[in-house]
Structure 1
Amino acid sequence: MDFEILKQQIENAAKKAFLEVYEKHGAEGVYSFALYSDEGAMTVCPAANTMKAMEMADEEDALYYKFEPAEWTYEMEGADKEFDDICTQLRAELNKHDDDDQWFEGFQSKLFSTCIEVLEKLKNEDFFTKITGKDIFLIFTVSDYEFEENELKDLIVRLNDNEYKSEYLNWMAAWGN
């Protein structure tokens, strides 16, 4: 699989997804965007959330709902065809290497890093800020998979040069307390 081509496809799909969500729900105060995958590296999907959706969150768990893409209102919304095509390509590639664990680990790692690179590129280009006029919380996550604590901290710092970074890191520091 040519990851440079895949990276461009993910970037184009991410832009389209965010624009579609913002066009439909911008008045609700879009504050976040994520790309996420699964442990089997078969998918890449977008997610977004709004401040209006956060009004419904239980105060005790508000930060969880604020920062966890699986709980966001607009999960898997936007650029449906583009993300479906990406997922089809990923599954086809995985099927070619069905029982090769070493190959899979490299593939999974490259897919995850590619998604993070796309988000970082969009952040550095001020893609989200130019559209919304404000900072957006960015994250990459994987369902049924946990990043090491330092990996997650690095990811948050890398993708967020805004107030969300310190809020997320403070929230992380409270985990397990």
Structure 2
Amino acid sequence: MDFEILKQQIEKAAKKAFLEMYTQHGAEKIYSFALYSDEGAMTVCPATNTFTMLENADEDDALYYKYEPAEWTYEMDGAEEEFNDICTQLRTELDKHDEDDKWFEGFQSKLYSCCIEVLEKLKNENFFSQITGEDIFLIFTVSEYEFETEDLKNIITSLNDNEFKNEYLTWMDTWAS
């Protein structure tokens, strides 16, 4: 698989997904965007959340709902066709190497890196803030998978130069110790 082409496809899909969400839900005050995958490296999906959704979150779990993409209002919404095509490509590639664990580990790592690099590129280009006029919390996550604490801190730090970063890292200290 050509990961440079894949990265371009993920970038195009991420931009389209965010623009769709902003067009449809901008009045709800979008504050976050994520790309996420699964432990089997079969998917890449977007997620978006809004401050309006957070108004209904349980106060005791407010930070969890604020920062956990699996709990966000618009999970797997936006650029559905593009992300479905990406997922089909991933599954096709995985099927070719069904029993090769060493190959899979490299593939998984490259996929995750592609997603993080796309988000970092969009952040550095001010893609999100140019659209919303606000800072946006960015994260890459993987369902059914936990990053090492330092790896997660590095992801959050590389993707966020805003108040969200500090709040996330402080919150992380409450459950990562």
Distance in 2, matches of 1:176 and 1:10, equals 30
Whichever residue aligns with residue 171 of structure 1, its letter is W
- The answer to whether the 8 A contact 2:35-2:140 is kept is yes
Alignment of 1:137-156 (within 5 A): 137-156=137-156
User: What is the aligned-residue RMSD (CA, Å)?
Assistant: 0.8
Q: Secondary structure at the match of 1:140?
A: strand
List alignment gaps of at least 5 residues for structure 2. none
- The answer to whether the 8 A contact 2:38-2:145 is kept is yes
Alignment of 1:6-155 (within 5 A): 6-155=6-155
Distance in 2, matches of 1:134 and 1:14, equals 18
Whichever residue aligns with residue 71 of structure 1, its letter is E
Distance in 1, matches of 2:166 and 2:96, equals 42
Distance in 2, matches of 1:176 and 1:62, equals 17
Following TM superposition, by how much is the alpha carbon of 1:105 offset from its aligned partner in structure 2, in angstroms? 0.1
Following TM superposition, by how much is the alpha carbon of 1:21 offset from its aligned partner in structure 2, in angstroms? 0.4
Q: What percentage of aligned pairs have identical amino acids? A: 76
Distance in 1, matches of 2:55 and 2:24, equals 18
Distance in 1, matches of 2:175 and 2:107, equals 31
Runs of 4+ in 1 over 6 A off after TM superposition: none
- The answer to whether the 8 A contact 2:149-2:176 is kept is no
Following TM superposition, by how much is the alpha carbon of 1:174 offset from its aligned partner in structure 2, in angstroms? 1.3
Following TM superposition, by how much is the alpha carbon of 1:176 offset from its aligned partner in structure 2, in angstroms? 6.0
1:2-61 Cα distance to aligned partner (Å, 9 max, x none): 000000000000000000000000000000000000000000000000000000100000
Whichever residue aligns with residue 6 of structure 2, its letter is L
Distance in 1, matches of 2:54 and 2:23, equals 19
List alignment gaps of at least 5 residues for structure 1. none
Distance in 1, matches of 2:163 and 2:23, equals 24
Distance in 1, matches of 2:56 and 2:161, equals 27
Distance in 1, matches of 2:83 and 2:107, equals 18
Whichever residue aligns with residue 101 of structure 2, its letter is D
Distance in 1, matches of 2:172 and 2:84, equals 33
Distance in 1, matches of 2:143 and 2:172, equals 18
Distance in 2, matches of 1:70 and 1:176, equals 19
Give the number of aligned pairs: 177
Following TM superposition, by how much is the alpha carbon of 1:175 offset from its aligned partner in structure 2, in angstroms? 1.4
